[in-house]
């Protein structure tokens, strides 16, 4: 564990004040690069808890070796995990005033954690999100620079959700001078610092939010409790989505973005916050499976047709994908009931 500049973020007894909890996002093949970046660019004391949700054997071996060298806590399940499920498992091992949730496809930059901690201490924020970038080359294109997440009522008295992400797709270089620390309504779970005591007030993360909108639900709950969310642009990190590179990747990816998990999440979110089933939700329903279509079905079609593509083949593969998705989701539910109670 890196312990450079040990006076920066220590409690009165000299122990780290923050625990980094790494969880799976949608694949495992980027896990090594992500974890190496944390140890390379984090120069303040920290504890680390790594939640390994049924990664392939090669990744499992790497994490076991790395945990032995760096002495971090490694928690493995033999079943794939919902994101909030993984975060709650990691949260059980946290005993520091702050926790940072980081997805396993995130690359951090120098000073990322110092900036988040400084913002939390100076503003008393319960939640702090960094300048979140997307894609490679890293730290160049903005994914998220704060945003909106609140309920409003239309003329008919219907409760509707407002969700907006600021600066998405903009160049970091072009926007950098205009980005300042500010109170906001939304932070994303790609990477977020949270004051741990908030969980004593609002409870653990809602595991009925299986795979989408869990960041809206959490930030709205925090703000409902009278606490604040801040955006800190001095902390820069990048999440790197990508196509699955192995069956282990593909299997988890298909579950992570399954039709059933998405529908259950959207319905739970709507009912929990008493929201109207308006165009926002109907559009989400209509676009079920778009990630699998874009990342799995269409690339496979191009490969089978030597780069030409074929609409009929896309349609056939999409139907197969839907049926396979239903089968994998049902099997996962059965395995989870058998294997997860140990946690």
SS (H, E, C) the chain: CCCCCCCCCECCCCCECEEEEEECCCCCCCHHHHHHHHHHHCCCCCEEEEEEECCCHHHHHHHHHHHHHHCCEEEEECCCCCHHHHHHHHHCCCCCCEEEEEECCEEECCCHHHHHHHHHHHHCCCEEEEEEEECCCCCCEEEECCEEEEEEECCCCCEEEEEEECCCCCEHHHHHHHCCCEEECCCCCCEEEEECCHHHHHCCCCCCCCCCCHHHHHHHHHHHCCCCEEEEEEEEEEECCCCCCCHHHHHHHHHHCCHHHHHHHHHHHHHHCCCCCCHHHHHHHHCCCHHHHHHHHHHHHHHHCCCCCCHHHHHHHHHHHHHHHHHHHHHHHHHHHHHHHHC
| pLDDT of amino acid 339 | 81
Residues of the chain with CATH 3.90.550.10: 18-239
- Predicted confidence band of residue 343 (pLDDT cuts 50, 70, 90): low
Query: Looking at the predicted structure, is the pLDDT value of residue 3 above 60?
Result: no
Domain 18-239 CATH superfamily:
Spore Coat Polysaccharide Biosynthesis Protein SpsA; Chain A (3.90.550.10)
Its pTM stands at 0.95
Query: Looking at the predicted structure, is the pLDDT value of residue 9 above 80?
Result: no
Query: What percentage of residues in the chain have a pLDDT greater than 70?
Result: 95
* Mean pLDDT of the 186-194 span: 98
Query: Looking at the predicted structure, is the pLDDT value of residue 84 above 60?
Result: yes
Query: What percentage of residues in the chain have a pLDDT greater than 90?
Result: 93
* Mean pLDDT of the 128-155 span: 98
């Amino acid at each position: 564990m890196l312990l450079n500049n040990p006076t920066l973020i220590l409690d009165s007894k000299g122990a780290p004040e923050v625990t980094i909890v790494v969880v799976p996002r949608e694949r495992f093949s980027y896990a090594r690069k992500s974890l190496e970046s944390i140890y390379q660019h984090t120069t303040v004391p920290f504890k680390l808890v790594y939640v390994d949700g049924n990664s392939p054997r090669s990744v499992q071996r790497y994490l076991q070796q790395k945990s032995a060298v760096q002495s971090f806590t490694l928690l493995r399940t033999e079943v794939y995990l919902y994101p909030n499920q993984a975060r709650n498992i990691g949260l059980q091992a946290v005993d520091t005033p702050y926790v940072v949730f980081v997805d396993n496809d995130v690359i951090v930059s120098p000073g990322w954690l110092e900036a988040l901690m400084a913002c939390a201490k100076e503003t008393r924020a319960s939640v702090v999100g960094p300048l979140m970038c997307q894609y490679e080359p890293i730290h160049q294109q903005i994914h998220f620079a704060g945003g909106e997440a609140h309920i409003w009522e239309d003329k008919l008295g219907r409760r509707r959700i407002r969700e907006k992400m600021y600066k998405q797709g903009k160049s970091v270089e072009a926007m950098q001078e205009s980005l300042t620390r500010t109170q906001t309504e939304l932070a994303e779970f790609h990477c977020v610092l949270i004051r741990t005591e908030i969980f004593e007030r609002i409870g653990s993360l809602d595991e009925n939010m299986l795979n989408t909108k869990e960041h809206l639900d959490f930030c709205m709950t925090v703000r409902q409790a009278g606490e604040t969310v801040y955006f800190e642009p001095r902390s820069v990190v990048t999440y790197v989505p990508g196509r699955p590179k192995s069956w282990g990747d593909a299997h988890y990816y298909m579950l992570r973005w399954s039709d059933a998990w998405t529908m259950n999440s959207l319905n739970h979110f709507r009912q929990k916050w008493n929201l109207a089933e308006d165009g926002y939700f109907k559009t989400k329903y209509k676009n079920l499976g778009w990630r699998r279509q874009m990342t799995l079905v269409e690339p496979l079609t191009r490969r089978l047709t030597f780069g030409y593509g074929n609409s009929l083949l896309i349609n056939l593969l999409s139907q197969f994908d839907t049926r396979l998705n239903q089968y994998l989701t049902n099997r996962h539910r059965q395995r989870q009931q058998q294997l997860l109670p140990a946690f």
